[in-house]
């Protein structure tokens, strides 16, 4: 009788894990110069000032894509925006270097006080110019 009870408890424990299944999240960040004239040579320009930065977060388990806040900033600035999507809080912080050669961003997605995903990245937007 004790063996059957122990086997039954093991079966229930195996069917119900103590920790919930962890779902992963994919973070997709886009940083682009704001184009008002749709100039095809915009990326070759020496000075750009305004950038539009967006973030999408995909739940890899459900394939649900959540669009985070949109940040608009100039070269040399740092901005942060927060947006609530489906009960999750998405915070997006972006900075562009003064010469517009580098961007740094942080993305944090929370479910209440619990952090679900966090990303910090630095990317080169264009090669530094050696011109004087």
Q: Name 89's bridge partners.
A: 84, 110
Q: Are 28 and 58 in contact (CB under 8 A)?
A: yes
Q: Which residue has the higher pLDDT, 100 or 77?
A: 77
Q: Has residue 12 been placed in a domain?
A: no
| pLDDT given for residue 24 in this prediction | 87
Q: Has residue 16 been placed in a domain?
A: no
Q: Are 19 and 43 in contact (CB under 8 A)?
A: no
Domain count, the chain: 1
* Residue range of the domain that includes 34: 21-124
Q: Is residue 107 helix, strand or coil?
A: strand
Average pLDDT of the segment spanning 52-73: 91
Could you give the CA distance from residue 77 to residue 54 in angstroms, rounded to a whole number?
16
Q: At residue 131, does pLDDT exceed 80?
A: no
Q: Has residue 106 been placed in a domain?
A: yes
Q: Which pLDDT band holds residue 126 (cuts at 50, 70, 90)? A: confident
| pLDDT given for residue 33 in this prediction | 82
Q: Has residue 86 been placed in a domain?
A: yes
Q: Has residue 7 been placed in a domain?
A: no
Q: Has residue 13 been placed in a domain?
A: no
For residues 60-89, one letter each, b for 16 or more C-beta atoms within 10 angstroms of the residue's C-beta and e for the rest, the string is eeeeeebebbebebebebebebeeeeeebb
Q: Has residue 10 been placed in a domain?
A: no
Q: Has residue 131 been placed in a domain?
A: no
SS (H, E, C) 7-18: HHHHHHHHHCCC
């Amino acid at each position: 009788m004790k063996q059957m009870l122990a086997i039954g408890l093991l079966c229930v424990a195996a069917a119900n894990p103590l920790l919930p299944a962890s779902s992963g999240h994919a973070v997709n960040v886009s940083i682009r110069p704001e184009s008002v004239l749709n100039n095809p040579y915009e990326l070759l320009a020496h000075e750009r000032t305004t950038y539009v930065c967006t973030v999408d977060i995909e739940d890899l388990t459900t394939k649900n894509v959540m669009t985070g806040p949109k940040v608009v900033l100039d070269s040399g600035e740092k901005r942060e925006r927060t947006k609530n999507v489906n009960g999750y809080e998405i915070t997006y912080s972006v900075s562009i270097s003064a010469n517009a050669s580098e961007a740094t961003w942080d993305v944090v997605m929370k479910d209440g006080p619990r952090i679900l995903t966090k990303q910090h990245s630095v990317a080169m937007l264009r090669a530094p110019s050696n011109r004087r």
